[in-house]
Structure 1
């Protein structure tokens, strides 16, 4: 088995899946709002944070004692708004730093808030809600190897109608602090995928884009036990601007813009008939946009992503795959620990057969 454990690509997948097995889908309530090591200087009736029904939450019970500084935890909830243009107020206390996102769009960053009025700056955070279902996500970073927790309450503009409050009904994901960069495994026009659809005058014209994956093994034999999400950001200054995403993927790609699911595509390197539903048409937000592409490998062979985003004129490149993109990974189809364990074991057995037997 020694050869198995010395293989870098195996260790990458194995350690990620083991980390996933330690996660829970739901946040953990570690303290009531008014009964915690953070005290009540700013918490309670008539104080800056009034919602005593909210709970301090973290991704495990250890947050109340000693939390890791190696990960960030993103807590998410959804709620319904039926009033066009409605405003809301987010009261929040966090140990230590919170990045706030509404419907996939970054809003602001706050820190701390439990000590006194001077500590509770830039709050409440003012939000403009979408009509329909809204998604509120708060990414929390612990900067000291001690406690970590989040306490939040979202109310309507009247200051009293509670739309959401932290509890174990919120879900969470974790990511390594400072997401790693993608690995360039092939130039666009020089890969096992050939050039039937790649090159000047063909369906995918951007030869400066690179085939990328989360490790160098993607070009040879990638795990089917994980999915890799590749992300980049870019700036748009034109209101209502459109863009075109050209994409080839081995095997399946789910496309998200600013946190919103757009569509799913597969393959695209064989011929014109293989390059269906492309380019993908996108409507950009004004300001910074975040493009994320979640890739699933369905065969235990090569896996890679090649993508190029251009303006509606078809020539101005806004983003192209390269090692400037970052990535995260998750276990494939793992809503429960049992399914995650099955995926992990499948991955281990695959590598055992390949490297040892």
Structure 2
């Protein structure tokens, strides 16, 4: 049984059933039933056309369920006949499924779960393990999301930006359990890039590839975080970096700049530097200027302050930081870093300790605590 093939076929088959008239929840249920049948039948009877088989069986499962529901409610069956088996696959079907799973009526958490289930082909158990929640909790979340989007019909193009934000949320979850969500997000974004040829989809794909390339160097063997400047660049995946740069350059050539392309350009400049000292901070500041112009995002402004501090000196970075809201996440950590670069270890140590108390994760808290301890030890010596 080829599990990866099944996962690739799930969104295609759901999309076909929805196009034929099934509502989303019923289509997804029918496909899951067909997958159970495939697990039972395929090992003993390998198929030449697994996609066509799944479409046919899933459609019959849907019709059976619809007829049973009709009988129970004594109303006319909306779908009266079974279309003849055919190729069935259409990029539009799967693309419509992306838009449906990222529908504005869903919360971000529900959109992510539904995307992983319907487009990614993951089971509720796999998604629950990845998010470290009970399977029953995840199943309920997915069930509610399916009910929310059932009956939705697209009479105009969906919002690519919303789909990209959902995929980026998946990517940023990283990995746990037996599913690597970062790799899954890259797979789904690759698929979307083929279907849409949209420059921002390409920008997000490039950004994911460039970030993913650095993953082996981000964590030390003992589990502690390794800042970018201290990472062993020999551990970076040069194949992913080269692919990310190629994808980005093709997107930028279309001359329709978006936020993900700008973020990817910043990541590419970091990846291009053989050492931290060779980083082209001036260009990075310029790209942050573009990103701020495009989004006005306060987090982008915060990261820009770090880049300004590296390009023009810590005082300039602190001046840029002073224009921002101190309540921003990681504001205090950036302040600590810039004060240390400005030669003020007393203030830096105090701000690192403050930042550690505010840290959103245990690894980040431990890293900031070590920074504060390091400076305090230097002050005592």
TM-score (norm 1): 0.28
User: Radius of gyration: which is bigger?
Assistant: 2
TM-score (norm 2): 0.27
Which structure is higher in strand share? Answer: 1
Could you say which structure has the higher helix fraction?
A: 2
